[in-house]
Amino acid sequence: MMNSRVPVENADTVSLVCALLVRFPELASIRSMPADRSVRLTFALGARLDKNAQKALAEAIADHVAGYLLLAKDEPRVLRVECESDRGTTFVHVTRDTESFSKEELELLVALFAERFPEALVRNPQPEDHLDADPVAQDEAALYAIEALRDPTRSKSLVGFREEARVLVYFLKSRKAKASSRR
């Protein structure tokens, strides 16, 4: 008899990524890279940013993150900002080391994007059952998720993103992907 269930630790990892994507509807995707001890957050903008705007945004993100970490007496080990633009969309990828990355920093990044791109920032619509959601529980789950991303024994290489009303999570293993989706 074949067991088609996802192992418990993988199910836990999926739940954590889902918790982050639900708590932060401004995130288009999250990619966990425990081998590099980093995480890549992607924000989607419904506007094309030219090279000068991309450079200015990357500098603003670096300044905000460095300033935040300076207050915490820390510094980023990994901080990369990459932009991909086409005719009407820009994807902004922010790669951070999991050691110095925090939920508060993620909140700062979300606020930066919301302030700079109030109309262009693509946000996932709230699910119909969102009114039943407990914001305190969502914050705790997000905090737990970021803590788990720091621990390479608990974190798996994966990418989570939204497609319509679902969150899809793919485990990344040597160029092969296994899919698991949660609603």
**pLDDT tens sequence across 19-58:** 888 889 999 999 988 888 999 999 999 999 999 999 999 9
pLDDT of residue 160: 76
Residue 68 lies in a domain: yes
- Contact predicate 133/141, CB 8 Å: no
DSSP 26: T
- Contact predicate 21/27, CB 8 Å: yes
Residue 1 lies in a domain: no
Mean pLDDT score of the chain: 81
Residue 113 lies in a domain: yes
Sheet containing strand 166-173, edge to edge, reads 79-85, 90-97, 38-45, 27-33, 158-163, 166-173, 176-182
Residue 182 lies in a domain: no
Give how many domains the chain has, as a whole number. 1
Q: What is the CA radius of gyration of the chain?
A: 16
Closest CA to 158 of 147, 167, 148, 169: 169
Residue 89 lies in a domain: yes
What is the pTM for the complete model shown? 0.80
Residue 107 lies in a domain: yes
Residue given tokens 């705790």 in the structure block? 140
Residue 165's domain spans which residues? 8-176
Residue 3 lies in a domain: no
Residue 101 CA: distances (Å) to CA of 18, 70, 127, 159: 18, 13, 27, 17
pLDDT digits (tens, 9 = 90+) for 111-130: 999 999 999 999 987 665 55
Residue 12 lies in a domain: yes
